[in-house]
Structure 1
Amino acid sequence: MTITQNYLERLELNQLTELAKFVVEENFNHHCENVSAKEIISDTQEVYDEELNYFKDSEIFVAKDFSGNIQGSIRVIKWDYKTKLPLQKIFNIDPLSYNYSQKASPVWHIGRFATKKDVKDKTLFRKLMVCAIAPICEQKDGVVFAECDSKLLRIMNLLGIKAEVIGASINYLGSETIPIAMNYAGLEEFYYNNKSLVTSQSINKMSNQTFQNKQYEYHVC
């Protein structure tokens, strides 16, 4: 019998290597057939270094099976207006040039979404996305940016997430990647339809606790 149930947890600093390896390997598993070990090692180090730089302003959520293996991941950053976001580094897009971006409002970035190619949990994407967008939807303010795989963008649209494409696509980590922006109006339908999938009891060692990070607080019911 195959156990398909996963549990959610927030990743700690000492698990960043595990995250980087998972994200890179799964991106290539989904999108490429022939990838050298050297390329995987190089990309894993790049992802690790980037996430280490963001860690103080970010939350990383992972779904694990009961053997402790990562099945899915997602990361949300609350931008400090100083650290260069992937949107700037990869696409040379200034977040403050976007219509909804204002210095008085929060700017967020969602990234490192990945799932195992053979994952059985059909709700996994929705659970991870609820974790990532909760601060945006609870505050009902600001804008969130992401670099999104073209296939994932189609799924997001089908699930009711309204995203605006803000630049031309490029090939990144083995797939066609598109820069997008979202705000509360485009996320609220999905969030309120799906937030019941993530409960305090679902979060490993976090029953009856509030999601908190260094700069903001949000609830997932």
Structure 2
Amino acid sequence: MNKINILKSNDDYKRLAKFIINENYSHHQPDDKFSELKIQLLYNEELSYKRNSTVYAIEDYHHDLIGTIRVLKWNYLDTLPIEKIFQINPLHFLEENSQANIWHIGRFAIKKNQGILPLKKLITLAISKVCDNKGNIAFAECDARLLKILFLMDINPKVIGNPKHHLGSETFPILLTYEDLERFLFKNKYLINSDNEELFFCHQHGKNRVLEQNNTNYSFA
């Protein structure tokens, strides 16, 4: 039985950093050495975002990570990954005098052979936060394989720059609009709707367990 938790402690963030580095390089460069420096840098960056972000993690009954995603509401002060990696200014994509918010979605990784359901659940949870206000936009750095999957899921991300090699793979900067995300959320909110009250309680009171579901064996590719 798998469950989705919200990661909160520094120890959880250390586990997140190890998981992201290990899974990215095992998917794309299995011979790459496991780097403690890469883990520490990622860990430090996520700690700097912690106050304004939520990290969802699917765990098995041993509390081993199966999948993760982080959604960050930009405070207009921190430097977002899309700025660091691609030198893209997020403000250029916000309409003048807009009251909408800018979000960043990142730290998305899933173990091999887990199927499509964990992917859709994590993306749905992240998108549900972005879509709390009409007109919101989100940025992400997306590898080529996941980019194809997003199009197949009818999210239709906008590629806004040339790709770079990042975390072991060819990575594209993408923009996600409210309209595209809302459409996906409408089709997939059933994945989290039955646990909306528990999810709200988790955000407000620090409860860790959000929902429990069985995984499928559908191919993640």
Normalising by the smaller structure, the TM-score range is 0.7 to 0.9
* Partner in structure 2 of residue 78 of structure 1: 73
* Partner in structure 2 of residue 217 of structure 1: none
2:17 touches 2:42 (CA, 8 Å); kept in 1? yes
Number of aligned residues: 205
* Partner in structure 2 of residue 117 of structure 1: 112
* Separation in structure 2 between the aligned mates of residue 74 and residue 159 of structure 1, nearest angstrom: 17
Report the AA paired with residue 97 of structure 1.
Answer: H
The offset of 1:140, in angstroms, is 2.1
Structure 2 stretches of 5 or more lacking a match? 205-210, 212-221
Q: Which has the higher contact order (CA 8 A, sep 6+)?
A: 2
Report the AA paired with residue 33 of structure 1.
Answer: P
The offset of 1:136, in angstroms, is 2.1
* Separation in structure 2 between the aligned mates of residue 50 and residue 94 of structure 1, nearest angstrom: 19
2:67 touches 2:111 (CA, 8 Å); kept in 1? yes
Structure 1 stretches of 5 or more lacking a match? 214-219
* Partner in structure 2 of residue 56 of structure 1: 51
TM-score relative to the length of structure 1: 0.86
TM-score relative to the length of structure 2: 0.86
Question: Which runs of structure 1 show a deviation greater than 3 angstroms over 4 or more consecutive aligned residues?
Answer: 99-103, 208-213
The offset of 1:174, in angstroms, is 0.2
* Partner in structure 2 of residue 161 of structure 1: 155
The alignment-based identity, stated in percent, is 38
1:209 to 191, 194, 200: 200
1:69-121 C-alpha deviation (Å, 9 max, x unpaired): 100000010000010000000101100112547663200000000001232x4
* Partner in structure 2 of residue 216 of structure 1: none
* Separation in structure 1 between the aligned mates of residue 107 and residue 22 of structure 2, nearest angstrom: 12
Question: Per the alignment, do residues 30 and 76 of structure 1 end up closer, same or farther by CA in structure 2, a change over 3 Å counting?
Answer: same
The offset of 1:192, in angstroms, is 1.0
* Separation in structure 2 between the aligned mates of residue 208 and residue 166 of structure 1, nearest angstrom: 33
Question: Per the alignment, do residues 150 and 102 of structure 1 end up closer, same or farther by CA in structure 2, a change over 3 Å counting?
Answer: farther
Question: Per the alignment, do residues 12 and 164 of structure 1 end up closer, same or farther by CA in structure 2, a change over 3 Å counting?
Answer: same
185-194 or 24-33: bigger deviation:
185-194
Report the AA paired with residue 161 of structure 2.
Answer: G
1:19-59 C-alpha deviation (Å, 9 max, x unpaired): 0000000001110021123xx21111111010010001100
* Separation in structure 2 between the aligned mates of residue 127 and residue 111 of structure 1, nearest angstrom: 15
**Residues 161-200 of structure 1 aligned to structure 2 (within 5 Å):** 161-199=155-193
* RMSD over aligned Cα atoms: 2.2
* Separation in structure 1 between the aligned mates of residue 135 and residue 202 of structure 2, nearest angstrom: 18
1:26 to 15, 23, 26: 23
* Separation in structure 1 between the aligned mates of residue 94 and residue 199 of structure 2, nearest angstrom: 38
* Separation in structure 1 between the aligned mates of residue 171 and residue 112 of structure 2, nearest angstrom: 18
2:124 to 120, 130, 135: 130
The offset of 1:207, in angstroms, is 2.8
